[in-house]
Amino acid sequence: MNQGDFVTVLTSEEQLTDIPLPVAVAEGHFIGGSSVVTRLKAIAARVAQRHSTVMLLGETGTGKEMLARFIHANSPRAQEAFIPVDCTAFSDSLFESQLFGHVKGAFTGAHRDTLGFIRSADGGTLFLDEIGELNLNLQAKLLRVLQERRVVPVGDAIPRPVDMRVICATHRNLAEMVQAGTFRQDLFFRLQVFTLLLPPLRDRVDDIPQLADFFLERLAELGGDIQKKLSDEAVESLMNHSWPGNVRELFNVLEHAWVLADGNVIGLSDLPAPLSTGGYRAYHPSDLNLEAMERRVIIEALKRSQYNRTAACKLLGLELRRLNRRITSLKIELPKRSVHASK
C-alpha cells in the first residue's frame, strides 16, 4: 500500500469505525468524545505508528501541540524526547543556532557547544509550531536536514546524523504562501506526507463539558486541590459561545471563573462577559477567514486589557514578541498611548 492509498483508507468513515483506539486516547491525552474528534484520534493513532512527517492544520488555540504529543505518545518513539519548538519565539539570527545547534566560538557569546533542538530530538519527535513563520533561509536549511537526515551546527563543517520524527503545525495557508513566494514549494511537499485538520471548538461543542472537567482538574492541582465544578447554567453558557479563541480561550475562561468563584460551584456570574449574561456570539460562514478571525480575537483581547499588550498576551496565551508581530502583520491600529508592557 502506498502513502496515497493509506491516506484514502484513513479518511474513509467506514474503515475508521473499525480502528481500535489506543490506551492513550482513553487516558485523555487529546480530550474529546465527539464524532469528529473520535475520527481524528483514530487517524492520528494510525499515523503515529509510522515515522512519516505530519502536518497539523487548524485555527489558533485548537490544540495542535496536544495532538502532536498524542501522536508521539502512541508512536514507537514514545519513550524518547518530545521537543516542542515555537518558531515565533526567537529572532531569525538566534533561532538558527537554537534549531541547528552551534559549536564553541561560532559567534560572540558562544562559550560552549550546544546541541540545538534538532539533535535534542534525536530518536524522538521534533514539533515545529507555526512553521509558516520561518524565513526562506531557515526553510532551505531545514529542508536539507529532512532530506539528508544530517545537521550541521552553526560554526561547524561536519554534518551530524540525526534520527527524528517531525510534526509541524500552522494556522496559516501554506499553499497560498507558496504561491506568494514566502514558503518554499519543495519544503511544503516534504512536510505534507500526512495532513490532519483540527476542528475549531465551535464544531465540537459536545466536547466542552469533558474539556471543562479536565481543565478544572488541572486548575485544582495548581491551586491546592480545591475542587470546583460548573453549574448547569454555566455549562449552558459555555455550550452557546462561539469560541473564536478555541480550546485555549476555554481554558482562560475557566481559569478566570475558578479564581472568582467563592465556593465549590462556578456559577454563571463567575464567567467573564458576555458569558456571564448567557450571551451568545453568533457564528457566520464569513468568519471562516482565519486571519480575519485572528484579527478580531486580538483586537478584543487588546480592548479587554485596555491596550496593555502584556495583559493581552496573558489573555491570548501568546508571547509579547509574537503578539507584536501579529499586530503588525494584521495591520491592527492601536491608540497612540497603548502600553507595550507592564511596568
Residue 21: predicted pLDDT:
37
Identify the domain boundary among 217, 243, 277.
277
Do 168 and 306 fall within a single domain?
no
Do 54 and 10 fall within a single domain?
yes
In angstroms, the CA 287 to CA 202 distance is 12
Residue 254: predicted pLDDT:
92
Do 14 and 58 fall within a single domain?
yes
**Residues whose CB falls within 8 Å of the CB of residue 219, separated by 6 or more in sequence, listed in order:** 228, 254, 255, 258
| CATH assignment of the domain containing 230 | 1.10.8.60
Quote the pTM value: 0.71
pLDDT in tens, the chain (343 residues): 333 333 322 333 333 333 343 333 333 358 888 889 999 999 999 999 988 899 999 998 899 999 999 999 999 999 999 999 998 887 777 888 888 887 776 677 667 778 889 989 999 999 999 999 999 999 999 999 999 999 888 877 788 899 999 999 999 999 999 999 999 999 999 998 899 999 999 999 999 999 999 999 888 887 766 789 999 999 999 999 989 899 999 999 999 898 888 889 999 989 987 787 655 444 444 444 567 777 778 888 888 888 888 888 888 878 888 888 888 888 888 876 555 654 3
Grid look-up 519527535 returns: 125
Angle between helices 35-48 and 64-73 (to 10 degrees): 50
Other CB atoms within 10 Å distance of the CB of residue 5: 9
Do 191 and 207 fall within a single domain?
no
- For residue 148, tell me if it sits in a domain: no
- For residue 149, tell me if it sits in a domain: no
**CA 6, chain centre distance (Å):** 25
Do 17 and 65 fall within a single domain?
yes
- For residue 98, tell me if it sits in a domain: no
- For residue 244, tell me if it sits in a domain: yes
| CATH assignment of the domain containing 131 | 3.40.50.300
Q: Torsions phi, psi of 137, nearest 5?
A: -65, -45
Question: Which residue range is the domain that position 313 belongs to?
Answer: 286-329
Do 167 and 273 fall within a single domain?
no
Do 77 and 167 fall within a single domain?
yes
Identify the domain boundary among 251, 277, 303.
277
Do 59 and 174 fall within a single domain?
yes
Based on the structure, what is the number of domains in the chain? Answer: 3
Do 63 and 208 fall within a single domain?
no
Do 306 and 185 fall within a single domain?
no
In angstroms, the CA 190 to CA 186 distance is 6
Q: What letter represents residue 214's amino acid?
A: F
Grid look-up 509541524 returns: 168
Do 192 and 236 fall within a single domain?
no
